Structure 1
Amino acid sequence: MDEENSIESMDSSPGDAVSGRDDGEFDEDEEIYDYERRPSLDLEETPMETFIQYHVDPVLPPALSYTSLNSQGESEMNGEDESITEVKLDRTGSFSSCYSYDSDDCEKKINKSRSKDDTSESAETDELILDENEFKHQALTVPFTFRAISDTVGKLSDHDKYFFGRELWLHFPQKFSVDMDLVDVVDKLLECFNLEKSLQIVKAVLVKIERNKLVQFLKARCMRNEVRYELKKFLREKYSDLFKTCSDDEKPSFSEAFTDLYISSNRHNGPNIEHEVLNIPKLNTIDEPDAPVPLRDLLNPDKLSDIRSNVIMLCGVAGSGKSMAIKKLIYDWVENDLETRLDFVIPIAFTELKQFEGSKMSFLEVLHNLYPPTERLTEKELGFSDCKTLFLFDGLDEYERCDAFNFNSTELVFSSTHTVSLHGLVVNVLRGKVLENGVALVTTRPMMTSTTPWDNRHHKIEMLGFTNNNREEFFKKRFKNATQANRVIEYVKSSKTLHAMCHLPLFCSIVADECQGVFREKGMQAELPRSITYMYTKLLLSLIRESRKSRAPDRSPDQETEFLITHGKAALTMLEECTFKKVKPYFSSEKIFNPDSVTYSGLVIEYTVTPAVLLNEQAFSFIHPTVQEYLVALYAYLSFQQNHNIFETKQSLQGRIKGLLKPQKVMDVFMCAVEKSLEFEDGRFDMCLRFLCGMELKANQDLLQSFCGSSSKTENHIQSTAAFIKKKMKEDRHQDRINNLKRCLEEMGVST
């Protein structure tokens, strides 16, 4: 056999394999292929007792491969007599010499046995397989083993590949020949031996040809595969809610209900400004939303190489779906459904890091503490060029106030084993200095993106929630019953306000839960809630609950009430001016907002606008115009509990003193609010009045008990307010004002 030809034949790619492969590349952690592992051969006793299917090429006469071919009636094997056809083999390079030849059918499977004198192969096998249990693990699969061996042997030079193949031929002449290419070698290994033995043979041959670095490379690949298996098992337990199978209840599992999200590669897009009544001018933001980036494409290798950064900042307002995206990435990796091959996906919530406050630890120690299955991973292992790791850091805004980060005086850390304080660790994670070859996806609310250091390049993208099509898709997935889903979709479309707010996945979930409760209690044909105020109150409480849990756990109900009143005052001032954004100097001088209101409450968004002057400015808005209007109504309701009517104008000193001594009447507040709404023909107070009417419902007041005490009886108030509104409708008013007053009656559950 010509040596040059044999060397060239070893260079074929794994894509040319015949068995155990398909047309594409194998993924190490890919387990979607249903491979059936062949039973291993007992090489120590009967290495040739196996059935091998082989097609003999008719062009090459197989007789040339044999020294002699004779028929023998009986042969003793393992103490038993059995009839065989003995083939005396010549140790040549012929690949066909290891197979029994049948003139009638070349592909016939023939039970072969070895000669009594043939004991050399068993000894040679024992020499190669020293510890079969070294690679034994549940994580070992055919796709991984094929790829691991192919990648390892593929790193050999042409010269070393020849000697690798020669060693295999010397030890297993009946199975290998020196002119076999790489793919055929791997195929043959997996065909004739089990997975553990195949890896052991490759390791032993590499040792024989003195390629110890590749031995370590192979062992590291196998170790990482085992850690990956154990980490996925750990994540299944930690995020058990994600992996619950669908039961017979009304709520589908996470994988069934997940709907793709609108991720824009541009940021500073500002809040959604869809409105039912007002025509709000387009915000002059410095960026414009571009084509959506599917979540699956977010980690595309081509995109990652283009951005030239290992830190991706995913910002978005509260409830826009950032945590949902994180959960989806975890789910897809554990279920082997990611299109991008990643060795490890490691989620680390910033709230989890708080347990290390006050101590000094390295990034690797934190990783091992949070995820015990990763204890075998060292800095060297994570630093391998072929080890791709994605770190999911969720909720930067939950960790610390944005003005508390100090990038200028915090020491630089370039190693994952360097011990540093928690603050220093987080700062260097944002710098991307301790991630080795990993990529960090950091989720945060918009204001925190300005905290990243100026001298580091970060790829910043924005989560915009649901598109119109996403909203319908969500409800169709959320409700198993198609009739229920269609009813909810029509219900949302019937109110432009509900439809606009459903760009937030969190709000969609609130609407779905409320409608599902109605179907469960009153049946399929029950009328769905007519009051939208109740949904907004649920959204507010959801944001406050999240703030209590991770951002302001020590805040008392009285402090929260004062917090809401402060925001309500700002909302009222802006509404009277018919504006829905204010630049930063205004808030700084008036001290209306502070970092807590922007970062922690979830009610406010900060973004960059392009003014008429040279420099860009930071602007503040509520997360939606209707949220601003709802907060004005809530401010009026909470102020009434403190005996104050915010809609009274030009109140004299004598009147104020009288108001302090004599309690305000509910009707006074509503009469002033109706007059205030009718005063502005542009409708700037229409939605505020509608929300205030919805505040009278007992169900809504029950939700707000923690802020204003026990709810009072409201039946008489509702009837009195409804009578006053109907009186105003009979007066000569603009049709738009009459329509809004009808909506106010609907909010109170009163027929028109």
Structure 2
Amino acid sequence: MMDDTEIEAMATLSGSSSIGDPVSERGHSLVDEDGEDWLYPERRPSLDLGPSPMDTSQWHYVDQALTPALSYSSMASEERSNTMNDDDGVSTNDDDGVSTRVQLDRTDSYSSCYSMDSDDCEKRTPKVKSKDDTVSELPNAPELIQDPNTIRHPSLTVKFTFKAIANILQKLSEKDVKRFKMMLWQRYPQSFNTPPQGLDLVDLVDRMLECYSLEVSLQVTKVLLDEMGQKKLIDYLETLCIRNEVRHDLCETLKRIYGEVYEDVAMQGERKPFDEVFTDLNITTNCDSGPNIEHEVMTIVKLDSNRKPGKLLSTSDILSSKRLDRSNTKLVVLTGVPGSGKSMAVRRLILDWCEQRSHEHVSFLIPLPFRELRQFEGSEVSLLEIIQKLYPETKKLREEDYRGEDCKIMFVFDGLDEYNDNLDFNTTELLGDYTRPTTLNVIVVNLLRDRLLYRGLFLVTTRPQVRRYIPWDMSYNEIEVLGFRDPDKDEYFKKRFKNPDQATRVIAYINSFKTLRIMCHLPLFCSLVADECQHIFREKGTQAELPRSITYMYTKLLLVLIRQHRVFRAPGHTPNEERDFLMKLGKVAFNMLEQGQFKITKTDWKDTGIDDTEAVINSGLCTQYITKPYVLFQEKVLSFIHPTMQEYLAALYVFLSFRNLGKNIFEQQHLKAKVRGIFKPHKAMELYKSAVDRSLLCEDGKLDLFLRFLFGMALNTNLELLQTFCTASIKGPSVIEDAAVLIKKRLRENPSRSNNLQHCLEELGVSAAEAASY
């Protein structure tokens, strides 16, 4: 083997140490320290021969090269050689902040060292070649074989091949790198017109990719490593190739699953790319903030003790490499009230990983939604079988991929609140073998306990109350999704409505109702409003009048929460059980509203007779958070997802009590059994008269929105939606006209309360202009 001095002497004898210098020596040889004679074959002349005349008499005809593509950005050799890392091959920035990342966005048409299509320049031979021009090669040079019928896997790109080879060479010692260069010079002399010893690793790999196809470049690397006895590096290079193929195929699957969405809640109509509809979310590090308490009429005291605002995050910050460097915590719990956008955030994170926009340190991202995991309940299965069943492309992965330090796997458990089994972190059996079949419960517990795939990263999304399933001694970070901020609300409607005139009309519409504007902090509510407006535009045109009843939108929200979402949490509930639950919850809402109370402690909640799991998790109408009223003391508090939802449910309770039971809550008098369930006009008006008078007595306006909802429920469009909660069909004439007369009378008697009473008229279908005239 040659030492450094002899290698430099060899470079000097070659006539030049740079790629572009002319080569004058032909077929010279050197003798190394072992006495072995090394033959260095004749080199083809470089095209860059300077200003001296060029003899072209011996040139041979070759096909015209394809137009070369720009390949890599200029970079300093010493810097880029020192900034390659194991994961990426080449790092993004050096210590001085100078970009040293190779720009590898070119196609497979490369710039060639011989001005020809270098993707397989070793195959480009002259059509006429004399015996004297034959390049002498060592007899033991391995043959490079590439099957022309082999279809290249789409994951094999210039970027990956460059990083993979550079990553492997970076693991060699300095002596072995020099040996690799020498063997490359000896075995495949057509690649270089001068010895490669002066090249750093970046230039070396770059030259290989210029003169060989991607497959052959990898083959050359493996052949030389095999001769050097580097079996482990060959295995590692093959591992990188397998991981690259699996990652590509997994990304294609995830893009197909998460890349397109239905814009409407009913999941009907045309699917659109998620990037076209996604709007930034308000994600914060400050949890237990309680519900949004912004209100149109009242000023509600802060419901929690978190006065300090949290740090604003994006989905790219979740389990990012920077956060992992600062903390060893590998479990993140993402919480938020129903409809706040948790699933949107998860979808954004997954697609950004697929497009390499974030979480590039994660080798594989595997979503495991609990809706999908339910199919494995009641049977014994291993974690490996679950992963391969949901994502068949992962079958190529081996044990070192799941266990290796250089292969990070992120698991996304979306919807822990939809998991019905009890997560017992104290008595559940220990499991450390991801290939051993067991129950789904054991797998989930041990994954979250960091016992199974302990190198994995875990993101869990859930409604707030499910945090009780996470053990107190488990280290995890918690972040919260709060929905949309005000600018995000407008941005959502601009994306949802491609017609600018329609988007402008919808934004003006929600701005005309302060309560609608407030409730649009929930992406789910925004979607319901957009669905309704879109339906009206489609049926009646862009200039059609939009609904003036906020009761209608709240009724739609109620149905979505307790029906569509309940399917995955409590599918066994009957309509009667659902109605009874709403009546109990509505009674709590009404009693709290009369007392001016918007939160209730865990102890007080027990007296309601309502299961908090049913209220918080299954229905999604309530939320739970923790307050710290005293030092070293905290208590769990429940509240409705928004004060206006409490007011709506209170109105629903009063409405259904009269509609189904014939009871006027305000008078506490029962009708005779024979008339129960019959909607008699004069009796109904007694209910509305009592409600109006009670509302006018509350100068703080705590019953104002309640009254609007109660009148709105008399409207036929809302009655049709609420019919499922009524025990009998609607009979008798409508009370709308009499109710309107009552409100007009109270308007004249109480001009100071005209604003809310006018809104009550609008809930009954009276136009805004007509309501304002009273």
TM-score w.r.t. structure 1 length?
A: 0.83
Distance 2:28 2:495 in 1: 70
Distance 2:46 2:508 in 1: 72
Counterpart residue number, 1:727: 745
Q: Deviations over 1:251-277 (max 9, x none)?
A: 853211110111001211110000011
Q: 1:628 to 1:365 in 2, by over 3 A?
A: same
Counterpart residue number, 1:351: 371
Q: Deviations over 1:615-661 (max 9, x none)?
A: 1000000000000000011112222222333432354x8x7779769
1:744 aligns with 2:760: yes
1:623 aligns with 2:655: no
2:334–2:462 contact (8 Å) kept in structure 1 = yes
Which range is displaced more, 304-313 or 283-292? Answer: 283-292
2:340 alignment partner, SS class? coil
Counterpart residue number, 2:223: 204
Q: 1:364 to 1:133 in 2, by over 3 A?
A: farther
Pairing 1:321-400 to 2, within 5 Å after superposition = 321-338=341-358, 340-400=360-420
Which range is displaced more, 571-580 or 98-107? Answer: 98-107
Counterpart residue number, 1:156: 172
1:640 aligns with 2:658: yes
Distance 2:694 2:575 in 1: 30
1:610–1:616 contact (8 Å) kept in structure 2 = yes
1:540 aligns with 2:558: yes
Shift of 1:687: 0.5
Shift of 1:175: 2.2
Shift of 1:477: 0.9
Shift of 1:381: 1.0
Shift of 1:250: 8.9
1:395–1:443 contact (8 Å) kept in structure 2 = yes
Counterpart residue number, 2:159: 143
1:62 aligns with 2:81: no
1:585 aligns with 2:610: no
Counterpart among 678, 682, 697 of residue 715 in structure 2: 697
Q: Deviations over 1:206-232 (max 9, x none)?
A: 111111111111001100111112222
2:28–2:40 contact (8 Å) kept in structure 1 = no
Distance 1:271 1:165 in 2: 65
Distance 1:128 1:109 in 2: 22
**Alignment RMSD (CA, Å):** 3.2
1:543–1:601 contact (8 Å) kept in structure 2 = yes
1:228 aligns with 2:189: no
Counterpart residue number, 1:265: 285
Q: 1:123 to 1:224 in 2, by over 3 A?
A: farther
1:414 aligns with 2:414: no
Shift of 1:711: 5.4
1:7–1:161 contact (8 Å) kept in structure 2 = no
Pairing 1:105-144 to 2, within 5 Å after superposition = 109=115, 113=126, 116=131, 118=134, 121=137, 124=140, 126-127=142-143, 129=145, 136-144=152-160
Distance 2:621 2:389 in 1: 35
Shift of 1:341: 4.4
Shift of 1:334: 3.1
Counterpart among 538, 543, 549 of residue 567 in structure 2: 549
Counterpart residue number, 2:110: none
Distance 1:561 1:400 in 2: 22
Q: 1:186 to 1:251 in 2, by over 3 A?
A: closer
Distance 1:649 1:505 in 2: 39
Q: 1:600 to 1:67 in 2, by over 3 A?
A: same
1:610 alignment partner, SS class? strand
Counterpart among 669, 693, 717 of residue 735 in structure 2: 717
Q: 1:308 to 1:368 in 2, by over 3 A?
A: same
Distance 1:467 1:515 in 2: 21
Shift of 1:748: 0.9
1:263–1:464 contact (8 Å) kept in structure 2 = yes
Distance 2:426 2:316 in 1: 36
Question: What residue ranges of structure 2 are gaps of 5+ in the alignment?
Answer: 9-16, 30-37, 56-112, 117-123, 264-268
Shift of 1:545: 2.3
Letter in 1 for 2:522: L
Pairing 1:444-463 to 2, within 5 Å after superposition = 444-463=462-481
Letter in 2 for 1:218: L
Q: Deviations over 1:665-696 (max 9, x none)?
A: 32222122112211211111110110111111
Which range is displaced more, 716-725 or 165-174? Answer: 165-174
Shift of 1:298: 2.6
2:376–2:440 contact (8 Å) kept in structure 1 = yes
Which range is displaced more, 467-476 or 434-443? Answer: 434-443
Q: 1:105 to 1:712 in 2, by over 3 A?
A: farther
Letter in 2 for 1:212: K
Q: 1:575 to 1:384 in 2, by over 3 A?
A: same
Counterpart residue number, 1:183: 202
Distance 1:720 1:688 in 2: 19
2:47–2:114 contact (8 Å) kept in structure 1 = no
2:633 alignment partner, SS class? coil
Distance 2:370 2:545 in 1: 42
Shift of 1:124: 4.8
Q: 1:320 to 1:230 in 2, by over 3 A?
A: same
Q: 1:530 to 1:580 in 2, by over 3 A?
A: same
1:616 alignment partner, SS class? strand
1:294 aligns with 2:255: no
Letter in 2 for 1:197: V
Identical-pair percentage: 45
Q: Deviations over 1:148-195 (max 9, x none)?
A: 111111111112212211221120134242503212221121111111
Q: 1:719 to 1:105 in 2, by over 3 A?
A: farther
Pairing 1:497-512 to 2, within 5 Å after superposition = 497-512=515-530
Distance 1:322 1:522 in 2: 34
1:420 alignment partner, SS class? coil
Distance 1:109 1:282 in 2: 72
1:350–1:399 contact (8 Å) kept in structure 2 = yes
How many correspondences in the alignment? Answer: 674
Shift of 1:391: 1.6
1:270–1:285 contact (8 Å) kept in structure 2 = no
Counterpart residue number, 1:435: 453
Distance 2:45 2:533 in 1: 74
Pairing 1:273-312 to 2, within 5 Å after superposition = 273-286=293-306, 288-312=308-332
Letter in 2 for 1:211: Q
Distance 2:298 2:371 in 1: 40
Counterpart residue number, 2:95: none
Distance 2:378 2:242 in 1: 33
2:332–2:477 contact (8 Å) kept in structure 1 = yes
2:663 alignment partner, SS class? coil
1:382 alignment partner, SS class? helix
Q: 1:683 to 1:108 in 2, by over 3 A?
A: closer
2:27–2:39 contact (8 Å) kept in structure 1 = no
2:588–2:608 contact (8 Å) kept in structure 1 = no
TM-score w.r.t. structure 2 length?
A: 0.81
Shift of 1:443: 0.4
Distance 1:634 1:229 in 2: 52
Q: 1:579 to 1:93 in 2, by over 3 A?
A: farther
1:312–1:440 contact (8 Å) kept in structure 2 = yes
Distance 2:131 2:353 in 1: 52
